[in-house]
Amino acid sequence: MSDEAITYDASRIQVLEGAEAVRKRPGMYIGSLGERGLHQMLFEVADRAVNEALTGRACSVGVTLMADGAVRVTDDGPGIPFGAAEDTDGPGLEALLTDLSAGTRPRDRHTVTMTLVGLGPAVTNALSSQLTAEVRREGVRWVQEYARGVAIAPPSAAGPATGNGTTITFRPDATLFETTECSFAVLAEHFRELAFLNRGLDVSLTDERPPGGAQTARFRFLGGVRDFVVSLRARAGTPVHTNVIGFEREDPRMAGTMEVALRWCGSREERVRSFVNSMATPYGGTHEAGLREGVAAALDAYARARGLLTAVEPGLGADRIGRGLTAVVSVKLDHPEFVGATRGALGNGPVRACVGEAVREHLGDWLEQNPGQAVAVITEMLRADALD
């Protein structure tokens, strides 16, 4: 081996920054170059718009899959100025579109997180062949265009504005992605869940691509996760009891809030969904463990008090209460801690006890107030065990 081949010094180190770094290793920022990564590009932009609505600065969010392959995200908030301004909470839009560190901000229970690493619209801009940002603010419409993360020209006034708001339209770079076609069905399911988890959030999704005409879905649910459970029940069989059992509680011990809804259906299938700050946790975690333990404790105590279980019979533990259970547990925490880099399971220790205690109390009250339905739930559970 020659001396030249083994020489390694600072001159051989390549430093990539900003859009160049994202375009070099896009999978590090959006997960894949397939459909999943394409959707993540959209979420990087939609995340900010949704939070505008949740904080009361905007009334609605609109997402459009345009006929020419572009994607548009718009909100009717006050409009983020391109430059920093004293009356804005955070950097201006131009910084959000170009500075990877500008999107990284503290998250708490009052915001949703749809992004992978919290870098925001700058990632989408870098991976788009073209992006147009429009701000309608204080009667003026401002526009700026970008190509592959680089501004083509400074922001310019484009005439008077009707109303306020921010619109970002981007075209995924076809030279990077395996596909540039977003799935209407997948996105609809995602925004539908988001609306369930954030009571009153108004999100619309429009697809202008079908040759037969555009299709639009609007998502807004005033019942929160109760409505979510009803929608899951529709696919899980006939309910054993009529009521959806649900409650909300804030607990300072876990620095957050919880919203829980559940019911049992005449099905052997278990459908339990868990979320942290509106993000799905497919591998569960302490919030889901607390739910199961609280349900088991309430059912077992009631069954023994009513003679449905004798003192010598095994208890209704967490391993027995899942048959036919349809439930959603959503916690919103100031400081969520996850197990592993993929954020698929919650690790906050206090959450387990807090959720378990709340579920035991609320379900216990419901059982006492609805004895007929309570007996039906437990009888169905015991009958199914006897058949196994």
> What is the per-residue pLDDT for 333?
94
Residue 33 has pLDDT above 90, yes or no: yes
The mean pLDDT value for 206-229 works out to 95
Asked whether 62 and 161 are in contact (CB, 8 A), the reply is: no
Q: Are residues 198 and 231 located together in one domain of the fold?
A: no
Give the β-pairing of 271-276 and 279-280. Answer: antiparallel
Q: What is the pTM of this model?
A: 0.88
Q: Are residues 199 and 230 located together in one domain of the fold?
A: no
> What is the per-residue pLDDT for 234?
56
> What is the per-residue pLDDT for 62?
98
Q: Are residues 283 and 316 located together in one domain of the fold?
A: yes
The mean pLDDT value for 164-178 works out to 96
Q: Are residues 189 and 302 located together in one domain of the fold?
A: no
- Structural domain including 340 reads 225-387
> What is the per-residue pLDDT for 233?
63
Task: Quote the CA–CA distance of 243 and 183 in Å, as a whole number.
Answer: 35
Highest mean pLDDT among 18-32, 93-107, 217-231: 217-231
Q: Is 351 part of a structural domain of the chain? A: yes
DSSP for residue 373: H
Q: Is 46 part of a structural domain of the chain? A: yes
Q: Are residues 115 and 91 located together in one domain of the fold?
A: yes
pLDDT tens-digit readout, 319-331: 788 888 999 999 9
CATH (domain of 241) = 3.30.230.10
Final residue belonging to a domain, choices 178, 197, 219: 219
Domain tally, the chain = 2
Q: Model confidence at 265, in pLDDT bands (50, 70, 90)?
A: confident
> What is the per-residue pLDDT for 267?
74
pLDDT tens-digit readout, 196-211: 999 999 999 999 999 9
Q: Which residue has the higher pLDDT, 18 or 86?
A: 18
DSSP, residue by residue, 216-269: EEEE--SSTHHHHHHHHHTTT--BSSSPPEEEEEEEGGGTEEEEEEEEEBSSS-
Q: Is 8 part of a structural domain of the chain? A: no
Asked whether 137 and 159 are in contact (CB, 8 A), the reply is: no
Q: Are residues 287 and 140 located together in one domain of the fold?
A: no
Q: What is the mean pLDDT of the chain?
A: 88
The mean pLDDT value for 87-111 works out to 72
pLDDT tens-digit readout, 342-383: 778 999 999 999 999 999 999 999 999 999 999 988 988 887
Q: Is 145 part of a structural domain of the chain? A: yes
Q: Are residues 167 and 46 located together in one domain of the fold?
A: yes
> What is the per-residue pLDDT for 37?
93
Q: Is 269 part of a structural domain of the chain? A: yes
Helices and strands, number each (H, E), in the chain: 11, 14
The mean pLDDT value for 262-272 works out to 86
Give the β-pairing of 325-333 and 271-276. Answer: parallel
> What count of residues does the chain have?
388
Residue 43 has pLDDT above 80, yes or no: yes
Q: Is 248 part of a structural domain of the chain? A: yes
Final residue belonging to a domain, choices 188, 204, 219: 219
Residue 363 structure tokens = 């379900």
Residue 334 has pLDDT above 70, yes or no: yes
> What is the per-residue pLDDT for 117?
60
Task: Quote the CA–CA distance of 226 and 337 in Å, as a whole number.
Answer: 26
Q: Are residues 214 and 265 located together in one domain of the fold?
A: no
Final residue belonging to a domain, choices 219, 235, 259: 219
Asked whether 188 and 173 are in contact (CB, 8 A), the reply is: no
Residue 227 has pLDDT above 60, yes or no: yes
Contacts of 19-25 with C-beta under 8 Å, sequence gap 24+, read 19/98, 19/122, 19/125, 19/126, 19/148, 19/149, 19/150, 21/100, 22/100, 22/122, 22/123, 22/126, 22/127, 22/149, 23/126, 23/127, 23/148, 23/149, 23/173, 23/176
Residue 240 CB neighbours (<10 A): 18
CATH (domain of 164) = 3.30.565.10
Task: Quote the CA–CA distance of 199 and 220 in Å, as a whole number.
Answer: 7
Q: Are residues 110 and 129 located together in one domain of the fold?
A: yes
The mean pLDDT value for 241-266 works out to 92
Mark out the alpha helices in the chain (DSSP H runs).
3-6, 18-24, 27-30, 35-54, 93-98, 121-126, 184-197, 225-233, 286-305, 349-369, 371-387
Q: Which residue has the higher pLDDT, 326 or 316?
A: 326
Phi, psi of 185 (to 5 degrees): -65, -45
Q: Are residues 195 and 282 located together in one domain of the fold?
A: no
Task: Quote the CA–CA distance of 29 and 26 in Å, as a whole number.
Answer: 5
Q: Is 2 part of a structural domain of the chain? A: no
Rg (CA), the chain: 25
> What is the per-residue pLDDT for 363?
97
pLDDT tens-digit readout, 244-255: 999 999 999 999
Residue 170 has pLDDT above 70, yes or no: yes
The mean pLDDT value for 337-344 works out to 81
Q: Are residues 234 and 212 located together in one domain of the fold?
A: no
Q: Which residue has the higher pLDDT, 89 or 187?
A: 187
Residue 342 structure tokens = 């993929």
Q: Model confidence at 68, in pLDDT bands (50, 70, 90)?
A: very high
197-217 residues labelled b (16+ CB within 10 A) or e (exposed)? bbbebbbbbbbeeeeeeeeeb
Q: Is 73 part of a structural domain of the chain? A: yes
pLDDT tens-digit readout, 113-155: 656 566 789 999 999 999 999 999 999 999 999 999 999 999 9
Q: Are residues 56 and 181 located together in one domain of the fold?
A: yes
Residue 388 CB neighbours (<10 A): 6
